[in-house]
Amino acid sequence: MCLVVLAINQHPQYKLILAANRDEYYDRPSAAPAFWEDAPQVLAGKDLKGGGTWLGITKTGRIAAITNYRDPASVMTDAPSRGWLVRDYLLSRDDPASYLKKVRKDGIRYNGFNLIVGHREKLFWHSNRGEGIVSLSPGLHGISNRLLNTPWPKVTRSKERLANLLANHENPSSERLFELLRDRSIAPDDVLPETGVGIEWERILSPVYITSPTYGTRSSTLILLDENDRVTFMDRTFNSRPEPIASVQFEFTLE
- The pLDDT, as a whole number, for residue 170 is 81
pLDDT at residue 103 in the model: 98
Distance of CA 139 to the CA centre of its chain: 17
Which residues in the chain belong to E strands, given as ranges? 3-11, 14-25, 30-35, 42-47, 55-58, 63-68, 113-118, 123-127, 133-135, 139-143, 215-226, 230-237, 246-253
Does residue 171 surpass a pLDDT of 90?
A: no
The conformation of residue 82, written as its DSSP 8-state character, comes to T
Q: Burial level of 76, CB count in 10 A (0-12/13-18/19+)?
A: exposed
Architecture of domain 3-253 in CATH?
A: 4-Layer Sandwich (3.60)
CA distances from 4 to 50, 67, 93, 147, 221 (A): 21, 8, 24, 12, 9
Q: Is 207 exposed, middle or buried (0-12, 13-18, 19+ CB in 10 A)?
A: buried
pLDDT in tens, 85-101: 999 999 999 999 999 99
**Residue 169 pLDDT > 80:** no
Give the three-state DSSP class for 169.
coil
| pLDDT tens by residue, 61-83 | 999 999 999 999 999 999 999 99
pLDDT tens figures, 113-165: 999 999 999 999 999 999 999 999 999 999 999 999 999 999 999 999 999 99
167 has a pLDDT exceeding 80: yes
